Every structure is written in C-alpha cells, then in structure tokens.
A and B are shown apart, each in its own frame.
Chain A
Amino acid sequence: SAVISQKPSRDICQRGTSLTIQCQVDSQVTMMFWYRQQPGQSLTLIATANQGSEATYESGFVIDKFPISRPNLTFSTLTVSNMSPEDSSIYLCSAQGNTEAFFGQGTRLTVV
C-alpha cells in the first residue's frame, strides 16, 4: 500500500490569488492523479500527472487554470490559479498502484 501526504489540509483564499497543493507519496508510483470534489458531488478527474512531462488534462480542465508538476515518482503539485468562489472544493491527490488506488486526505479550499 501507499501512504499519501497532502498539504495544506485546508485554506481560505482571496479571489484572484493562486494556491499550490503538494502531494507526497511514501513510495514510487507510476500513476498520480488530481481530482476535484465540489460540494455535495462525487469526484471528477482533473488530470493525470506525468513524471517528467506535461500533465494530461480531462475535458473542461486546462493547464493555465490548473498547472501541475511532477518532478519525480513520489511528488506532485497542483496549482489552482486566479481563483474564484466557484473553485471552492476539495482537491484530492491519488496514486495508483498495480491494482489499488490510494488517496490523500484532501485539501479543502474556500475562495472568498
């Protein structure tokens, strides 16, 4: 199994600013993902974080709004840029082992 540390656990941010969320995995994993969970909703995949190359974004998500880095096999960051109240959500990092998916504890973001 893998243990994922995500920080910050929560933040309250002013609109127009940016927040970077960090995700650290305790072992090397091939696949890392970033999800968004809007209030009362299920999880929506934002992008696949690719090691050493640009992230692969899902429909409706763009790099300018959600830039992602993955410099090695254990670490990734997601930045939420130019935030608006509609970005208030829980953001979750996930690592995929050979079979099982693991999740961090999430970042609860409130934009005011």
Chain B
Amino acid sequence: KQEVTQIPAALSVPEGENLVLNCSFTDSAIYNLQWFRQDPGKGLTSLLLIQSSQREQTSGRLNASLDKSSGRSTLYIAASQPGDSATYLCAVRPNDYKLSFGAGTTVTVRA
C-alpha cells in the first residue's frame, strides 16, 4: 500500500521568504504526482502535476521537483506572500486512478 508523508506538518514564515515543502512516498511505481492547495473548509485547487518521466515542473513562483527512485517530491514557493497561506497537499497516482494523499503542510505567511 502506498504511504505518502509530508514534512513539516506546519510552517510559519515572514513574507518574502522562500517556502520548501516536502513529500515522500513508499512505492516508486507511480504514474504521476500532483500538488494541491486547499483553503480552510474548501476544495482542492491543482497547482502542479509532474509525470513520472519528468524531473520538475514550474508555474510562476511555484516549482515542483520529483525524484521517483528515492520516492521524494519537493514544492518550492518563491518570495512567499500572505495569500500563499493555505494547506498544501501532495497526491501520488499509481497506474490505476486512485490517488494517495499526504496529510498536508499548513503554511502561514506573516505580513
């Protein structure tokens, strides 16, 4: 069974600092990995998707890397802003369609 772990569970930084969020998974036989953002009490917004054959994806201030062999992905958020405050979830998709989610990292960016 795929186990997904996110470290740290919570993170508080001053505005402008770069954020580094980690995701690890136990089974490297994945189809892709997706990073989501969740605001309190809301649904999930897809941020980045990395296919198993890719090493990284970038969108604006966000960059996600994938090291499939070691079972790790990292989400970098550059120059953080208070609007980046949310919970960030990592989800791994195996060769079927069922996603396995980490518990998330709750980020607070202080103005």
A90 B103 Cβ-Cβ under 8 A = no
Interface of A is mostly: strand
- Interface residue A76 (Cβ < 8 Å from any Cβ of B): no
Report how many residues on chain B are interfacial, defined by Cβ distance under 8 Å. 21
In contact, A103 and B43 (Cβ under 8 angstroms): yes
Say whether chain B's binding surface is mostly helix, strand, loop, or mixed.
strand
Contact (Cβ within 8 A) B41 A90: yes
Total cross-chain contacts (CB, 8 A): 49
Bound-state CA distance A33–B91 (Å) is 14
**Count of interface residues, chain A, beta-carbon cutoff 8 Å:** 22
Residues of B within 8 A of A104 (CB): 43
Bitwise interface map of B from 27 to 39 toward A, beta carbon under 8 Å scored 1, else 0:
0000010101000
Q: Is there contact, CB below 8 Å, between B49 and A99?
A: yes
Report A73 CB to chain B, min CB distance, Å.
15
- Contact between chains at B97 and A96 (CB < 8 Å): yes
CB distance from A102 to the nearest CB of B (A): 7
Given contacts A33-B97, A96-B97, A103-B43, 6 further A-B pairs with CB under 8 A are A43-B99, A90-B41, A92-B43, A101-B34, A101-B91, A103-B44
